[in-house]
């Protein structure tokens, strides 16, 4: 069995952090087996190295090794990519195609960003994990494959399970062994080592002298948060290597290449906060609509009492009048009849009463129509706001609005958005 140090040299892994060493040790230990492995860690920590280590130390090392970025394949074609398809299975399927699980038979498949898999694909993947069986798109024939699956994710799969976006049974099938890589900010002593390695590589690549940081710059380098982890550190090292003519880098120079809180860089905002904010706005909207409905019912009630009684409105229901029109001081501004109507119902008065009833219905219908229009306006505003927030991604917007994609498409077409 190879040592951790030998593996680091072989795969050019820089660092002596205990958590990093432990992750490599676990990869070495599970490599000879066929159990599934889940690699977790933030984006940019180097998760792709672990499945390569596992494959190279396993009995499958002479077989195929295929790395698949699940988040980069469109939802409509990912089943075809993974499992293959038959000729004529869908528009554009002009020939039979082998999927990755068929091509990698006897080898290893690395599923990066496995949390992005659609639920239908998750069901197919679960069947492969359970008995090695899969069916091509457009086929009814069951095929067998013998592959080892190593998956990776930078999202919290427990949260995805709670939201119904990831299958719990698939999670436990994939996570027989979990290997976690620490973020760069927790590898304080490794940051300068990595930076020196990167600037040396770029000096050789661009044929220029390597950079050198002063002590203050080194301290800043180690204290910086590095949200993009190793990938971000490498980018900064390349920028400075190319742009700076002075090869001695001071604190001020390094600081000019590091993002600050005032930059327009993308920031990670928790889904929970977004959902909470949107839920609050929705609750307020519902309350406004319910209040409008209550006011409308009160107005209908007052109108019916006017129809049944030919007396002054103030004598019928003062509390209702005050609720609808405000305080008693404002009642004098309302133009009511001074004398009560007679209770005798002549044909003429009956006809007037029927006319009054019809007018009341027309009035109520007008209010209801206005209420519907206001509801539609609010609905359009909410859909527009959600689409803008999610940068036009309809699936994300539908999830945020709490409706299906099909319903969202119908609404967009209905309102001509």
Runs of H (alpha helix) within 12-141: 18-30, 49-56, 78-83, 100-103, 119-131
22 and 165 share a domain?
Answer: yes
284 and 399 share a domain?
Answer: yes
| DSSP per position, 133-161 | EEE-BT---EEE---EEEEEESS-HHHHH
47 and 91 share a domain?
Answer: yes
Identify the CATH number of the domain in which residue 30 sits.
3.40.50.300
362 and 221 share a domain?
Answer: no
* Among candidate residues 182, 211, 240, the one where a domain is terminated: 182
Over residues 364-374, mean pLDDT: 54
In tens, the pLDDT along 266-293 reads 444 444 445 555 556 666 776 677 677 7
- Cα–Cα distance measured from residue 352 to residue 364, given in angstroms and rounded to the nearest whole number: 18
10 and 76 share a domain?
Answer: yes
* Among candidate residues 159, 182, 205, the one where a domain is terminated: 182
- Cα–Cα distance measured from residue 386 to residue 399, given in angstroms and rounded to the nearest whole number: 10
List Cα–Cα distances, 185 to 21, 70, 177, 209, 291, in angstroms: 16, 27, 25, 28, 52
**Weakest mean pLDDT among 130-134, 182-186, 364-368:** 364-368
28 and 153 share a domain?
Answer: yes
20 and 168 share a domain?
Answer: yes
Q: Is residue 264 part of a domain?
A: no
280 and 232 share a domain?
Answer: no
Q: Is residue 331 part of a domain?
A: no
Q: What is residue 29's predicted lDDT score, i.e. its pLDDT?
A: 96
List Cα–Cα distances, 177 to 23, 83, 100, in angstroms: 11, 25, 23
Over residues 318-346, mean pLDDT: 48
Q: How many CA atoms lie within 13 A of 74 on its CB side?
A: 3
Share of the chain above pLDDT 70, in %: 76
Share of the chain above pLDDT 90, in %: 59
378 and 283 share a domain?
Answer: yes
DSSP, collapsed to helix, strand or coil, labels residue 41 as coil
283 and 406 share a domain?
Answer: yes
Question: How many domains are contained in the chain?
Answer: 3
State the residue range of the domain holding 209.
Answer: 186-257
147 and 220 share a domain?
Answer: no
Would you give the DSSP letter of residue 225?
Answer: -
Q: Is residue 405 part of a domain?
A: yes
* Among candidate residues 257, 287, 317, the one where a domain is terminated: 257
Identify the CATH number of the domain in which residue 244 sits.
1.10.8.60
Task: Report residue 341's pLDDT band, with 50, 70 and 90 as the boundaries.
Answer: very low
**Residue carrying the six token digits 């390569």:** 52
175 and 194 share a domain?
Answer: no
Structure tokens at 37: 């492995």
Over residues 187-206, mean pLDDT: 95
Is the predicted pLDDT of residue 187 greater than 60, yes or no? yes
């Amino acid at each position: 069995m190879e040592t951790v140090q030998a593996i680091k040299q072989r795969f050019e892994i820089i660092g002596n952090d205990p958590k990093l060493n432990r992750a490599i040790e676990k990869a070495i230990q599970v490599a000879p087996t066929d159990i599934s492995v889940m690699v977790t860690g933030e984006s940019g920590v180097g998760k792709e190295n672990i499945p390569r280590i596992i494959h190279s130390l396993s009995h499958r090392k002479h077989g195929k090794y295929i790395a698949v970025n699940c988040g980069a394949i469109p939802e409509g074609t990912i089943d075809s990519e993974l499992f293959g398809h038959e000729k004529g299975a869908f528009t554009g399927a002009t020939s039979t195609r082998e999927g990755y699980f068929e091509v990698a038979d006897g080898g290893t498949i690395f599923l990066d960003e496995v949390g992005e898999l659609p639920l239908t694909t998750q069901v197919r993947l679960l069947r492969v994990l359970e008995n090695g069986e899969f069916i091509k798109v457009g086929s009814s024939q069951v095929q067998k494959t013998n592959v080892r699956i190593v998956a990776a994710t930078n999202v919290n799969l427990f949260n995805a399970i709670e939201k119904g976006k990831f299958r719990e049974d698939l999670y436990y099938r994939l996570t027989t062994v979990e290997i976690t890589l620490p973020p760069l900010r927790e590898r304080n002593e490794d940051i300068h080592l990595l930076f020196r390695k990167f600037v040396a590589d770029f000096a050789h690549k661009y044929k220029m002298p390597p950079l050198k940081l002063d002590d203050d710059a080194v301290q800043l380098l180690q204290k910086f948060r590095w949200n993009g982890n190793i990938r971000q550190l490498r980018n900064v090292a390349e920028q400075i290597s190319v742009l700076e003519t002075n090869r001695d880098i001071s604190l001020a120079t390094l600081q000019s290449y590091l993002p600050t809180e005032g930059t327009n860089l993308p920031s990670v905002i928790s889904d929970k906060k977004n959902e909470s904010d949107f839920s609050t706005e929705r609750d307020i909207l519902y309350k406004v609509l319910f209040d409008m409905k209550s006011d409308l019912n009160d107005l209908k009630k007052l109108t019916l009492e006017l129809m049944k009684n030919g007396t002054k409105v103030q004598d019928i229901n003062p509390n209702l009048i005050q609720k609808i029109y405000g305080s008693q001081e404002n009642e004098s501004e309302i133009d009511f009849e001074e004398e009560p109507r007679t209770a005798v119902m002549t044909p003429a008065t009956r006809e007037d009463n029927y006319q009054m009833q019809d007018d009341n219905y027309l009035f109520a219908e007008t209010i209801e129509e206005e209420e519907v229009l206001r509801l539609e306006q609010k609905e359009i505003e909410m859909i527009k706001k959600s689409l803008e927030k999610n940068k036009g991604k309809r699936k994300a917007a539908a999830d945020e609005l709490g409706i299906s994609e099909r319903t969202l498409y119908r609404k967009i077409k209905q309102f001509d958005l």
